[in-house]
Structure 1
Amino acid sequence: MTEQAPRIPSTHHPLAGEQMNGAEMVVQVLADEGVDTVFGYSGGAILPTYDAVFRYNERHRHDDGGDPMQLIVPANEQGAGFMAAGYARSTGKVGVFLVTSGPGATNTVTPIRDCMADSVPVVAITGQVARGAMGTDAFQEAPIVNIMGNCAKHVFLITRPEDVEATMRTAFEVARSGRPGPVVVDLPKDVQNWVGEFRGEGLLDIRGYRQRMESLRQAKLSERKCRQFFELLGHSSRPLLYVGGGVINSDAGDALTEFAHAFGVPVVTTVMGLGAIDTTDDLSLHMLGMHGTAYANYAVEDCDFIIAVGSRFDDRVAAKAELFAPMAEHVAHIDIDAAEIGKVKMVDWAHVGDAGRSLRQLVEFGRHEGFRRDFGPWLEHVRGLREKYPMNFDRDNPLIQPQHVLELLNGLTKGDAIVSTGVGQHQMFAAQYLDFHRPRQWLTSGSMGTMGFGLPAAIGAQFAHPDALVIDVDGDGSIRMNLGEMETVTTYNLPVKILLLNNSCDGMVRQWQRLYFEDRFSASDKSLHRKDFVKAAESDGFAFARRITDKSELADALEAFVSFAGPAFLEVVVDPDAGVYPMVGPGMSYREMVTGEHIGSRDHGEPDDRSDRLSQSEMF
């Protein structure tokens, strides 16, 4: 993982020995950890820490008048959590948010669980009532340890004021180490007001955890295991890299690309792994899974050796594990989390360790041993799949197709934008039709699928990358969840671009209702809702706020939208009946994938000569 800033050794900390209250110690540790942006909403139980941030900034004001520790106020605490997540996902650093007790803290449960599910490092500091009032149902009291215990990587409740420093430092250590995740620090108000000596050093004694992390850091592929891996690769004719978000979390994108090119192995990625390899790379087959490209899924059907790296065979990829990659004679798995090995799919070779380090060791061993294997016929085969079954949609429909919007946007951004999304059809269209040249450009709620994620995540990413083009691709259902954060965009004059694909429904729910519930659109039809999103954007101060309903106006509007200098909002009214295809139905195999009317299929539609299908006896 990329760390924020090296800790200052205790013997050199200029403030060691000074008297501080607990809140000031919290803020000083944040500064020592390199935190430059904190997202949060104030309240009574956290006011001492907010005051400490204010006073810290007064003392350390930049020459240009800017605050060394930006304090960003959202419309809702959930927004603060997702802003911190967007910051963390786009940088690899630990995101931080700061909220009050009771409802302030409970409003962050969803982002905490979202970060846990997608392995995102954040530290949430929640105010708590004074220790003497805990357990009395005091005003704005909530049992955060109990509530967050099953949602976070770890929860700390500080009951000894002397532990404030060590707890805060340890929270960052736990959040960023191993498999990253969210850590919650519950901070009673009287602990914030307590005054003591700042030591400038110290961590909590979490010996067992540190021993496990040290084992991971020391984990090295032995010569025997490297040789075993290359024996499997040498016996393979059709190897395939199956790559997940763990490659991005470990900053292993370069190592992955080097491995793929060193040995000529094509790559499919999960929705969380997009950007791990440049999606325009000749070896990239883009996304696999429920809504993966047809050619990626067919490659999975045809491969004989799956090499899983930082991926977990989840239900959106392997709904039935026994049907996933049915022709694969062997499965290898590299992951930082031992619990993922063999959890869903049995493997023949595995290594628990950092993805980047592991891939680099394999490359070094393979080159040193002079490994050679000609996968040329296999590469020609997968290129043929890509040419024969490309992504496509109803290009002749007079209504604006959402795929067309994303295709045009991709032509403008050329794979260089940071893109966040809400959750639903628009999320999958964006995943299918946008390119990403680098890791950490694609920010989406993968495992939890949290509607309302896109806009606050874009805000967090824009604060982390003030000069980058940041676009939130959203849906009318998702954006309503955190619509108040549109005002946050203009409050801070962020050049965030909000592209709203409005189909007047919960599109993915509607698609499932059409396929599996005989067109009974229960609660998914939003056509009677009266929200005027353009007026809402204008009322929040967006100087660029437009609605497009005519297909002929789309290209010019998108170009103006992307090139606008400040915050921009573009609503595109799209076909409510547009479906996301390909689609692998729940519990089905890739062989049963539905490609729709406009993407070729091996079993349905054109082309259908099946000349590209491999049989068990066809070996390269």
Structure 2
Amino acid sequence: MSGADIILQVLAEQGVDTLFGYSGGAILPTYDAVFRFNEMHKANPERQIRFIVPANEQAAGFMAAGYARASGKVGVFMVTSGPGATNAVTPIADCNGDSVPVVLICGQVPRAMIGTDAFQEAPVFNIMSACAKQVFLVTDPRKLEQTLRSAFDIARTGRPGPVVVDVPKDVQNWTGPYLGQGTLQFRGYTDRLRMVAKGAYLDERKRSEFFELLGRSERPLLYVGGGVIAAGATIELRQFSERYGIPVVTTLMGLGALPSKHELWLGMLGMHGAACANYAVEDCDFLIAVGARFDDRVVGGHPERFAPAARYVAHIDIDEAEINKVKRAQWSHVGNARDALISLMEHDVFVRPPSDWRKRAVGFKRRFGMNYDRRSASIQPQRVIEQLSEMTGGRAIVSTGVGQHQMWAAQFFDFVEPRSFLTSGSMGTMGFGLPAAIGAQLARPDAMVIDIDGDGSIRMNIGELETACTYGIPVKVLLLNNRGDGMIRQWQRLFFDGRMFVSDKALHRKDFVMAAVADGFEFACRVDAVDDLEAQLRAFIEFDGPAFLEVMIDENADVFPMVGPGQSYAGMITGPFIPARLSQGDAAREVESGQIADMF
């Protein structure tokens, strides 16, 4: 077979049913192999590989990421050399930050031309090595098959992540045997996987140490991250939480790990986390981190001020590098979250924390719950998300761009299932929402997929509106338009004395509805009155096919709560509509009456 045909054989063997990518000279042999592969399987369409061509390579990467995040399978995209490869850097870095398994197959100039500054040559290995889990440059065509198979193994095992395979054009044209088996050998990586697998289940001593700490604590709290979803451990998390009566807070990436309306779920914690979740973190005396990495949007710049009352910290993570990286743990375990929770629940001694802590923590949701200006004549973005959540019953896959709309979606949509909230967490990449929604819809064709986006964020990859219509992908695009970069404006109001610079897009002349119509959307509407919102939202959801709804929201709406720069959770700004503690310095005191917090 040719190298290009070998690539297709490995993709088929790995169960790949969808590819995303943009063509170019250095990857053309493999694109031709896709065509021939599908022609060969014309009689069996289920064996064909669907190919989606976006407006640019960055969007191809986000589509692959959306596919992977929604399905749990490895997403695959293919690009050409030079600018095709450099356009793919952002989605690779994004997937690396959020531990998303994707494989990028990248065309490269022929081996003899590497290093000569040839046309559309880029040092892919050098560039990608800084932001991928693993990068391969295939210089020996006899190892192409094993390299590709290894790429999938590495992407999905351990802590998932992106793998890049750079394939020179002459390697794609090379002819050699297809073996149908074999991978490359990486002793260090294999040894680490073996070590994690060997320690999957905790021994009695390790379990006893954990439950001794739990027995000493009076206010334990589960701090849950995206690792629980990646490990498929959401059922075990729920069982563990309910069995021991431990309240749960989740990160942005952990939303959906526990149903939003579950009694023990207190909300998302962090910089824009729910006040009730952050207050629970302030009060807890035993913090149990599962599949979470203590990132700066959760911990802030002063780790010692995060969970200040916690006498003990336990940390379960698949990646040993995360243990004690930010917050010192008195008890830790390197391993899969699902295996660890199952193993802990097999412990003979039953420990249940005092019920007054559970009641107190659950009471936080009533006293310090999310709220906003419900009497405003302007459309409040929080109301839009609330109504959308109610209409869908929380059973939709939601993707977002990055900015205020991202936080409102995280705060006000009641997620029911894991893998239903797709967002750029670590990198915070604007333009992520629309292509990710397209990838998710292709991965989960029976699900309702909604891109909740902002006017600034959607501009970044607005060309993908055409992609959705071209392929008849029935994504719903809900645009919250506040005529500007709202999060930047919020920071400028709060921390830069109101000096508005580059954040006001009021003079931009983009008519998003006309753009959607031009790209083929049969449902494309705008709402600017509160009284019209509910009916338009319902029509938007019920429309059969791609739908676009622009909602003109209050331009002055802000995201609260907010933990400002250098602040701890005790100094959290709750805004004018969410109650705060009377004495934020004393984590033990609670508000007996709903008092409005000052903004500064």
**Structure-1 separation of matches of 2:353 and 2:380:** 42
- Identical-pair percentage: 62
Decide which of 181, 194, 213 is 1:214's aligned counterpart: 194
- For residue 496 of structure 2, what is the amino acid of its counterpart? F
Which segments of 5 or more consecutive residues in structure 1 lack a partner in the other structure?
Answer: 1-19, 614-620
2:279 corresponds to 1:298: yes
| Aligned residue runs from structure 1 range 216-365, under 5 A | 216-219=196-199, 220-319=201-300, 320-365=302-347
**Structure-2 separation of matches of 1:415 and 1:586:** 32
Alignment match, 1:532: 511
**Structure-1 separation of matches of 2:352 and 2:405:** 41
Alignment match, 1:49: 30
- Asked if the contact 1:265–1:375 (Cα under 8 Å) also holds between the matched residues in 2, the reply is no
- For residue 179 of structure 1, what is the amino acid of its counterpart? R
Alignment match, 1:201: 181
Encode CA deviations 1:405-433: one digit per residue, 9 max, x unaligned.
10111111111100000000000000000
- Asked if the contact 1:399–1:574 (Cα under 8 Å) also holds between the matched residues in 2, the reply is yes
Decide which of 67, 72, 91 is 1:111's aligned counterpart: 91
Change (3 A) 1:36 1:328: same
**Structure-2 separation of matches of 1:125 and 1:94:** 13
- Asked if the contact 1:244–1:312 (Cα under 8 Å) also holds between the matched residues in 2, the reply is yes
3-state SS of 1:603 partner: coil
2:66 corresponds to 1:86: yes
Alignment match, 2:172: 192
3-state SS of 1:272 partner: coil
Alignment match, 2:114: 134
- Asked if the contact 1:26–1:165 (Cα under 8 Å) also holds between the matched residues in 2, the reply is yes
**Structure-2 separation of matches of 1:86 and 1:560:** 25
Change (3 A) 1:197 1:223: same
Alignment match, 2:366: 387
2:488 corresponds to 1:509: yes
- For residue 465 of structure 2, what is the amino acid of its counterpart? M
- Asked if the contact 1:381–1:612 (Cα under 8 Å) also holds between the matched residues in 2, the reply is no
Question: How much does 1:61 deviate?
Answer: 2.4
Question: How much does 1:446 deviate?
Answer: 0.2
The alignment's TM-score, normalised by the length of structure 1, stands at: 0.93
Question: How much does 1:456 deviate?
Answer: 0.3
**Structure-1 separation of matches of 2:406 and 2:56:** 23
- Asked if the contact 1:38–1:69 (Cα under 8 Å) also holds between the matched residues in 2, the reply is yes
Question: How much does 1:438 deviate?
Answer: 1.3
- Asked if the contact 1:476–1:503 (Cα under 8 Å) also holds between the matched residues in 2, the reply is yes
Encode CA deviations 1:159-179: one digit per residue, 9 max, x unaligned.
011011000000001111100
Question: How much does 1:302 deviate?
Answer: 0.9
- Asked if the contact 1:602–1:609 (Cα under 8 Å) also holds between the matched residues in 2, the reply is no
Alignment match, 1:378: 357
- Asked if the contact 1:330–1:347 (Cα under 8 Å) also holds between the matched residues in 2, the reply is yes
| Aligned residue runs from structure 1 range 419-458, under 5 A | 419-458=398-437
- For residue 291 of structure 1, what is the amino acid of its counterpart? H
Question: How much does 1:504 deviate?
Answer: 0.5
- For residue 125 of structure 1, what is the amino acid of its counterpart? I
Question: How much does 1:326 deviate?
Answer: 1.1
Encode CA deviations 1:425-454: one digit per residue, 9 max, x unaligned.
000000000011111000000010000000
Alignment match, 1:568: 547
Encode CA deviations 1:164-208: one digit per residue, 9 max, x unaligned.
100000000111110000000000000000001111111112122
3-state SS of 2:410 partner: helix
**Structure-2 separation of matches of 1:465 and 1:609:** 45
Alignment match, 1:60: 41
Question: How much does 1:610 deviate?
Answer: 4.7
- Asked if the contact 1:38–1:98 (Cα under 8 Å) also holds between the matched residues in 2, the reply is yes
3-state SS of 1:271 partner: coil
Runs of 4+ in 1 over 6 A off after TM superposition: none
3-state SS of 2:176 partner: strand
Alignment match, 2:598: none
Alignment match, 1:551: 530
- Asked if the contact 2:64–2:75 (Cα under 8 Å) also holds between the matched residues in 1, the reply is yes
- For residue 228 of structure 2, what is the amino acid of its counterpart? V
Question: How much does 1:256 deviate?
Answer: 0.8
3-state SS of 1:96 partner: strand
| Aligned residue runs from structure 1 range 396-415, under 5 A | 396-415=375-394
Encode CA deviations 1:23-68: one digit per residue, 9 max, x unaligned.
00001000000000000011100000001011111111255x5662
Provide the aligned C-alpha RMSD in A.
Answer: 1.4
2:149 corresponds to 1:177: no
3-state SS of 2:531 partner: helix
**Structure-2 separation of matches of 1:375 and 1:57:** 62
Alignment match, 2:595: none
**Structure-2 separation of matches of 1:177 and 1:234:** 34
Question: How much does 1:364 deviate?
Answer: 1.3
- Asked if the contact 1:62–1:68 (Cα under 8 Å) also holds between the matched residues in 2, the reply is no
Decide which of 59, 75, 99 is 2:55's aligned counterpart: 75
**Structure-2 separation of matches of 1:313 and 1:133:** 45
- For residue 119 of structure 1, what is the amino acid of its counterpart? S
3-state SS of 1:291 partner: coil
Alignment match, 1:27: 8
The alignment's TM-score, normalised by the length of structure 2, stands at: 0.96
Alignment match, 1:481: 460
- Asked if the contact 1:238–1:305 (Cα under 8 Å) also holds between the matched residues in 2, the reply is yes
3-state SS of 2:253 partner: helix
**Structure-2 separation of matches of 1:447 and 1:509:** 18
Question: How much does 1:357 deviate?
Answer: 0.2
- For residue 102 of structure 2, what is the amino acid of its counterpart? V
Question: How much does 1:375 deviate?
Answer: 2.8
**Structure-2 separation of matches of 1:150 and 1:483:** 28
Alignment match, 2:77: 97
- For residue 350 of structure 1, what is the amino acid of its counterpart? S
**Structure-2 separation of matches of 1:68 and 1:273:** 34
**Structure-2 separation of matches of 1:62 and 1:260:** 50
Which segments of 5 or more consecutive residues in structure 2 lack a partner in the other structure?
Answer: 593-600
Change (3 A) 1:54 1:102: same
**Structure-1 separation of matches of 2:304 and 2:191:** 35
3-state SS of 1:171 partner: helix
Question: How much does 1:603 deviate?
Answer: 3.1
Question: How much does 1:533 deviate?
Answer: 0.2
**Structure-2 separation of matches of 1:604 and 1:43:** 62
3-state SS of 1:286 partner: strand
3-state SS of 2:221 partner: strand
- For residue 393 of structure 2, what is the amino acid of its counterpart? K
3-state SS of 2:551 partner: strand
Encode CA deviations 1:294-323: one digit per residue, 9 max, x unaligned.
100111111110000011111111112111
